[in-house]
Amino acid sequence: MEAINFTRAGGGSSLLQFSLCLSPPLSSPRPKRLNVRCKSSNGDNVVTLLDYGAGNVRSVRNAIRFLGFQIRDVNEPEDILKAKRLVFPGVGAFASAMDMLNKTGMAEALHEYIKSDRPFLGICLGLQLLFDYSEENGPVEGLHLIPGAVSRFDSSNGLRVPHIGWNALQFEQSSVILEGAKGQRVYFVHSYRAIPSDANKDWVSATCNYGGEFIAAIKKGNVHAVQFHPEKSGAVGLDILKGFLTGNNSNPGKTSDLAENQSPKNASTLAKRVIACLDVRTNDKGDLVVTKGDQYDVRELSEEREVRNLGKPVELAGQYYRDGADEVTFLNITGFRDFPLDDLPMLEVLRCTSENVFVPLTIGGGIRDFRDKHGRYYSSLEVASEYFRSGADKISIGSDAVFAAEEYLKTGVKTGKTSLEQISYVYGNQAVVVSIDPRRVYLQSPDDVPFKTVKLNHSGPRGEQYAWYQCTVNGGREGRPIGAYELAKAVEELGAGEILLNCIDCDGQGQGFDIDLVKLISEAVNIPVIASSGAGAVEHFSQVFQQTSASAALAAGIFHRKEVPILAVKEHLRNQGTEVRL
């Protein structure tokens, strides 16, 4: 695998940030209804951040700044020892993180800092690294601060791994920073977890249940760490960060104004997710707009055939966050046809959105290997790295995943060189979504093709009882000799952590999701499946969750045109007995 060079943003050498920063983030207004800026109890408004250059740490930075604090980056081990409060947002693979910490001398300094009971907050991998070792690509030794091992969720019984989505906490001991999370859900995205035991029970402040109990948060003295992502857990997550940053324990039972209007919902299980999708492209005037296709055609039916304009990306994303979307997905449907890292407007959309949207952001479009006009080669890993640095939490791969799956099915060999394999190895499979764009092909008999077929609930135009789903590339313009079922199985083996399942036939029709397709794919894989294409009413969401094993449902046009509010979808689902985050 090609080595990744790191530089400090803004110049100067460091091992802590990717050297792909292209321009500073634009400013955008913050929601006026959230008055969350605060100062620490001792008057020091500086937070030290240990950023070793993997994944989306921009969101943590934005959340800290949103709360009114300044950031001092760790450049050498002494910076850790000088810190008055330290935040470690670990992202990616356990082995690569420990390798970085050991090679730079950070591991020893971090160990000394935490053993001294100084204010510390670890996030996700920042919690796991505190344990003795991890089984991820290992065993790999950790920092040996908390007894126990980090192991993978057991998917042998059909549990979907990674654990992605909004889940509830069960509290084991008092923790002032978690008070605002009682009865609420927080956002998890991980494949590995630590198990509570007699040896570490004094550390455990909260657990979560997903195929069994695992450690969701730890606390001992001034040391805190959480498996979930507070920076992606909306108002509740900001409240948790605020509790740590202020260090104010004088009112342990009182939550901040961020969550005061959110009464406890007695959350207990993983919620089904409702995702807002924004198809983004330049119109004929060169402006970046949100659009929506009708079976992938985004142009109006008028004589001028202009690109359908449904709003500005950053504004709409912010509105959907305030409306309660569990995630926001950007699909750049112009596909970066020349070179993705030259697409400064789309990168700025990510940067600006992540300043004020504190739920997960996914970006898709053009994630593959490139050569620029000067002949320099850029790997898909470098392209993905810039998206992560710009604010994305997950990247979505389309056409490149189809070609990789075709080759894998033909040879049976994992080369380690595909975009799927490289990105999932560095960032973890939970950061990689594969977007499948199939078209229904009707059949008289399931024996007519060598691909997996389905018996249809509704006959085809000529009375056909069967169909297979042919995968396409290049925005649905080119059919490929591989079915959606075969593709889904292959990309799961190659490292995909989630599938975004579209349907060209249903796109823009408003008649509901393709239940046959969603059922086929969601039962074929052990990773989460997002149902997409066709939503036109709230009933379509309950239908797809009740009749298939989909983990999430995505919609675009009905939200853009304000035909169905996100809140109406969630209230309907709740009334139908489906667990959702409200």
Q: Which of 163, 190, 229, 560 is catalytic?
A: 229
- Whether the ω angle into residue 340 lies within 30 degrees of 0, i.e. cis, is no
DSSP 154-171: --TTS--SSEEEEEE-EE
371: tokens are 């050569």
List all residues 6 or more positions away from 99 whose beta carbon is below 8 Å from its beta carbon: none
Question: Using an 8 Å Cβ cutoff, are 124 and 190 in contact?
Answer: yes
Question: Using an 8 Å Cβ cutoff, are 202 and 1 in contact?
Answer: no
Strand pairing class (498-501; 288-291) = unpaired
Q: Which of 21, 124, 471, 506 is catalytic?
A: 124
- 231 carries an active-site annotation: yes
- 279 carries an active-site annotation: yes
C-alpha span between 240 and 230 (Å, rounded) = 7
Residue 508: CA count within 13 A, CB half-sphere? 13
Secondary structure class of 396 (helix, strand, coil): strand
Q: Which of 179, 231, 386, 579 is catalytic?
A: 231
Torsion of CA 467, 508, 352, 376, to 10 degrees: 50
Q: Which of 437, 486, 498, 516 is catalytic?
A: 437
- 144 carries an active-site annotation: no
Closest CA to 565 of 323, 360, 312, 326: 323
238: tokens are 């900001």
DSSP H or E run through 87: strand 86-90
Closest CA to 37 of 180, 224, 229, 241: 241
What is the CA angle 565-256-265, rounded to 5? 50
CA 391, distance to chain mean position in Å, is 10
Strand pairing class (131-134; 140-141) = antiparallel
Q: Which of 279, 326, 327, 386 is catalytic?
A: 279
What is the CA angle 118-122-125, rounded to 5? 145
Secondary structure class of 13 (helix, strand, coil): coil
Closest CA to 257 of 558, 35, 519, 5: 35
Rg (CA), the chain: 23
Whose structure tokens read 């296709």? 293
Helices H, strands E: what count in the chain? Answer: 16, 29
What is the CA angle 100-105-107, rounded to 5? 70
Cite the active site residues.
124, 229, 231, 279, 437
